[in-house]
């Protein structure tokens, strides 16, 4: 399936052949970031098509299959004789090796996570890199015999072939993922491939694309009217600003749905900000509709949102309710639903994500996806060509540049992403405590991970307490979604020893690797916890008072971060309310999740003391405990993605 692209123009293009990877869209992004135009096509695209279309280089992505499996994706062997430079990533490297006569086998070790790889930086692919690079590996199969004519240019610490090249054939392969943030110098590898190896010009620039987007809007809309949904996030705001540059203003109708899950004063400030750039925004007050919203789950109607605890059901109800409200508002605007257009700020990764969802059947995309981009109204309009997505060729950072170009104020353009379902997915709901089977055994395993942890300063290890928390959150590993228990760390501060944050982060990384019932680790501020296991929670649902509690905590965090000028440095800071009572009946926990990522496919927790000032953190904790009633403890999410996700549900 082809992922469309609207702006071909005269720029040079490369092709990404998709072997079913989660990460194809991230490869696409990395390439486009370097001002090279890319297109994603299926792996079995005929070589003749690649030649005819004039693509200048080929990247073969990773994929979940084994190259040795009968069900491995088909490919045209002639792609290896086109003479074009080829970069194979993960599955792509193994295919390159196999096709040229090497072997690939399933070894006893699987490598999943961040590993150091020794690289030969005399290879043109690795020019400018160090001798050892930190990379993300996720593979079960490995190269056994390297194909003739190729050489090993990288090895992981466990001895696995991590990269190969044949300078003569102009073919290169890496076992790791250079496209994700966790591979620190991955961008440099793309830079080498695109410019040193494929000698591209890098001529895919913003200016040409903005003009193309404006022309495409005018052509598609003609003299019809457009409804635009404005959440206040950067994408929908830039989309609206672009429409205003393309069309007469009286044909643009802007709607903001206040679901009741917005941040404090959010809807009001979105309205004011949009008014300031000349957009008259209609705001609905829809909390009651959402609270009483239901959705069909399979054959059955769900409970109402106000009493639902399942994260996926919550998302489904919110998505459906959004669209029902839009249907009503279209009529109120006096628009003709059979002729009007709907504009959305869909970005290129969104589009690829939903398309690759169809192609590869990956179940992962839908758990992070907002549903209000894809409902009945949207689908009906799409099939009639009445959805406008002028940002469909843009990535987040490019949208920000475009926003500045269009004269939007910096604070709007630099807003952190906020999920469509809002605070609703930052409140973990539960009727009962959740503990894994054999919880006492799991709790013992947690403490033994810490006591056996090797660290130069053993006395610091003795300060760490582990506690199994009776709540679970969503995580992601490989292609799979997980829904697992939370582990808390706390600190005894023996003889006044200050918290060792780097050590905390290392321990947090180790725990989910060793204890498979855990996908997220938090640090709990304050006195060390006394139990290795809690058994009780405060039942939690999406009720007004609960939402207000999170809204107040979230407002404190944002006020302080804004003052400290940290909003740009931290990619996103979700604040979460969860039902753990920490032994104090009726109370709940708050978690802070300062998170650093560019692609949101992978990412790291911000390190306290390095990325976030400790004084600021302590001020946040103190103010939440003093000003927000009903909070037992404030905590800090120490988990990277994977194994956790950015949001907790």
Which residues does the annotation mark as catalytic? Answer: 90, 177, 179
Q: Could you give the C-alpha distances from 3 to 12, 92, 210, 356, 396, in angstroms and in order?
A: 17, 19, 20, 9, 18
Single out the residue of 420, 579, 608, 643 in contact with ligand XMP (rule: CB under 6 A).
420
Using CB under 6 A as the binding rule, whether residue 389 contacts ligand XMP is answered as no
Single out the residue of 175, 240, 572, 640 in contact with ligand XMP (rule: CB under 6 A).
572
d(CA 44, CA 66): 16
Closer residue to ligand XMP, CB minimum distance, 64 or 603: 603
Using CB under 6 A as the binding rule, whether residue 486 contacts ligand XMP is answered as no
Of the candidate spans 3-11, 12-20, 400-408, 412-420, the one that interacts with ligand XMP by CB under 6 A turns out to be 412-420
Closer residue to ligand XMP, CB minimum distance, 59 or 425: 425
Q: How far is CA 615 from the centre of its chain?
A: 29
- Asked if residues 186 and 179 have their Cβ atoms less than 8 Å apart, the reply is yes
- Asked if residues 442 and 436 have their Cβ atoms less than 8 Å apart, the reply is yes
Residue of 418, 423, 372 whose CA lies nearest to 234: 418
**Using CB under 6 A as the criterion, what x/- string covers residues 491-520 for binding ligand XMP?**
------------------------------
The number of residues that bind ligand XMP (CB under 6 A) is 13
d(CA 560, CA 107): 50
Of the candidate spans 42-50, 211-219, 365-373, 442-450, the one that interacts with ligand XMP by CB under 6 A turns out to be 365-373
Closer residue to ligand XMP, CB minimum distance, 415 or 641: 641
Phi and psi (nearest 5°) for 42?
Answer: -65, 155
Using CB under 6 A as the binding rule, whether residue 204 contacts ligand XMP is answered as no
Three-state DSSP class for residue 637: strand
Give the contacts of 495 (CB within 8 A, at least 6 positions apart). none
Of the candidate spans 139-147, 418-426, 525-533, 614-622, the one that interacts with ligand XMP by CB under 6 A turns out to be 418-426
Shortest spacing between CB 260 and ligand XMP, in angstroms: 16
Using CB under 6 A as the binding rule, whether residue 417 contacts ligand XMP is answered as yes
Single out the residue of 173, 345, 419, 512 in contact with ligand XMP (rule: CB under 6 A).
419
d(CA 189, CA 168): 18
Closer residue to ligand XMP, CB minimum distance, 588 or 641: 641
Shortest spacing between CB 599 and ligand XMP, in angstroms: 9
Closer residue to ligand XMP, CB minimum distance, 37 or 598: 598
Please give the span between the terminal C-alpha atoms of the chain, in angstroms, as a whole number.
30
Comparing every residue's Cβ against ligand XMP, the nearest one is: 370
d(CA 627, CA 560): 14
- Asked if residues 238 and 406 have their Cβ atoms less than 8 Å apart, the reply is yes
Element containing residue 618 per DSSP (H, E): helix 614-627
Which residues between 587 and 646 bind ligand XMP (CB under 6 A)?
600, 641, 645-646
Using CB under 6 A as the binding rule, whether residue 421 contacts ligand XMP is answered as yes
Shortest spacing between CB 561 and ligand XMP, in angstroms: 16
Shortest spacing between CB 124 and ligand XMP, in angstroms: 34
Give the contacts of 571 (CB within 8 A, at least 6 positions apart). 416, 417, 595, 596, 597, 598, 600, 603
Closer residue to ligand XMP, CB minimum distance, 190 or 648: 648
Q: Partners of 427 in the beta sheet?
A: 577
Of the candidate spans 253-261, 363-371, 492-500, 533-541, the one that interacts with ligand XMP by CB under 6 A turns out to be 363-371
Q: Could you give the C-alpha distances from 403 to 5, 231, 243, 268, 273, in angstroms and in order?
A: 20, 15, 12, 21, 14
Angle made by CA atoms 367, 187, 11, in degrees to the nearest 5? 90
d(CA 615, CA 622): 10
Which residues between 115 and 134 bind ligand XMP (CB under 6 A)?
none
How many of the other CB atoms lie within 10 Å of CB of 145? 12
Single out the residue of 103, 121, 220, 370 in contact with ligand XMP (rule: CB under 6 A).
370
Using CB under 6 A as the binding rule, whether residue 348 contacts ligand XMP is answered as no
Shortest spacing between CB 318 and ligand XMP, in angstroms: 8
Of the candidate spans 198-206, 272-280, 353-361, 364-372, the one that interacts with ligand XMP by CB under 6 A turns out to be 364-372
Q: Could you give the C-alpha distances from 279 to 41, 240, 242, 337, 594, in angstroms and in order?
A: 39, 8, 12, 22, 32
Phi and psi (nearest 5°) for 406?
Answer: -85, 0
Closer residue to ligand XMP, CB minimum distance, 139 or 369: 369
Using CB under 6 A as the binding rule, whether residue 368 contacts ligand XMP is answered as yes
Closer residue to ligand XMP, CB minimum distance, 124 or 417: 417
Q: Could you give the C-alpha distances from 243 to 134, 201, 202, 573, in angstroms and in order?
A: 43, 31, 28, 30
Closer residue to ligand XMP, CB minimum distance, 445 or 554: 554
Shortest spacing between CB 480 and ligand XMP, in angstroms: 13
Q: Which residues of the chain form contacts with ligand XMP (CB under 6 A)? A: 368-370, 417, 419-421, 572, 600, 641, 645-647
């Amino acid at each position: 399936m082809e992922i469309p692209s609207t702006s071909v123009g005269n720029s040079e293009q490369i092709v990404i052949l998709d072997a079913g990877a989660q990460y194809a869209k991230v490869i696409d992004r990395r390439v486009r970031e370097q001002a090279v135009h890319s297109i994603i096509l299926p792996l079995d695209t005929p070589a003749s098509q690649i030649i005819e279309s004039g693509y200048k280089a080929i990247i073969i992505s990773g994929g979940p299959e084994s190259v040795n499996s009968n069900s491995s994706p088909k490919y045209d062997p002639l792609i290896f004789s086109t003479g074009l430079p080829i970069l194979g990533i993960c599955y792509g490297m193994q295919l390159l090796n196999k096709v040229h006569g090497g072997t690939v086998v399933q070894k006893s070790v699987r490598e999943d996570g961040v590993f150091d790889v020794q690289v030969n930086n005399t290879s043109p692919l690795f020019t400018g890199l160090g001798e050892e690079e930190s990379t993300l590996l996720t593979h079960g199969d490995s190269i056994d015999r390297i194909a003739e004519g190729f050489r090993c240019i990288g090895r992981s610490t466990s001895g696995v072939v991590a990269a190969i090249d044949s300078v003569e054939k102009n073919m290169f392969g890496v076992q790791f993922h250079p496209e994700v943030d966790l591979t620190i110098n991955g961008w440099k590898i793309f830079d080498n491939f695109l410019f040193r190896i494929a000698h591209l010009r890098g001529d895919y620039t913003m200016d040409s694309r903005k003009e193309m987007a404006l022309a495409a809007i005018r052509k598609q809309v003609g003299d019809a009217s457009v409804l635009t949904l404005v959440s206040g996030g950067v994408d929908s705001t830039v989309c609206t600003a672009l429409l205003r540059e393309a069309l007469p203003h009286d044909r643009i109708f802007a709607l903001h749905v206040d679901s009741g899950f917005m941040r404090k004063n959010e809807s009001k400030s979105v309205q004011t900000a949009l008014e300031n750039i000349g957009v008259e925004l209609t705001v609905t007050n829809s909390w009651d509709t959402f609270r009483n919203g239901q959705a069909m789950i399979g054959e059955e109607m769900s409970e109402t949102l106000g009493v639902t605890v399942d994260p996926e059901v919550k998302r489904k109800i919110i998505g459906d309710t959004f669209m029902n409200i839009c249907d009503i508002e279209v009529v109120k605007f006096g628009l003709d639903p059979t002729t009007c257009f709907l504009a959305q700020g869909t970005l290129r990764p969104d589009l690829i994500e939903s398309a690759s969802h169809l192609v590869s059947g990956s179940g992962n995309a839908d758990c992070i996806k907002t549903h209000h981009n894809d409902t009945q109204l949207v689908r009906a309009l799409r099939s009639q060509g009445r959805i406008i997505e002028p940002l469909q060729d843009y990535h987040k950072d490019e949208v920000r540049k475009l926003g500045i170009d269009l004269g939007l104020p910096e604070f709007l353009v630099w807003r952190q992403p906020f999920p469509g379902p809002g605070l609703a997915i930052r409140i973990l709901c539960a009727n009962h405590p959740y503990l894994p089977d054999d919880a006492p055994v799991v709790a013992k395993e947690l403490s033994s991970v810490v006591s056996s942890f090797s660290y130069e300063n053993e006395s610091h290890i003795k300060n760490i307490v582990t506690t199994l928390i009776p709540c679970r959150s969503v995580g992601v590993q490989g292609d799979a979604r997980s829904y697992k228990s939370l582990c808390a760390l706390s600190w005894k501060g023996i003889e006044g020893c200050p918290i060792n944050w780097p050590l905390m982060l290392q321990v947090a990384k180790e725990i989910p690797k060793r204890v498979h019932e855990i996908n997220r680790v938090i640090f709990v501020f304050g006195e060390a916890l006394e139990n290795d296991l809690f058994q009780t929670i405060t039942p939690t649902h999406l009720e007004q008072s609960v939402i207000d509690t999170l809204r107040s905590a979230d407002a404190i965090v944002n006020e302080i971060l804004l003052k400290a000028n940290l909003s740009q440095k931290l990619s996103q800071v979700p604040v979460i309310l969860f039902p753990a009572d920490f032994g104090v009946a009726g109370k709940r926990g708050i978690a802070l999740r300062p998170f650093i990522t560019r692609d949101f496919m992978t990412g790291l927790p911000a390190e306290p003391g390095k990325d976030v000032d400790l004084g600021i953190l302590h001020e946040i904790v103190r103010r939440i405990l003093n000003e927000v009633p009903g909070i037992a403890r404030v905590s800090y999410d120490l988990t990277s993605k994977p194994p956790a996700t950015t949001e907790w549900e």
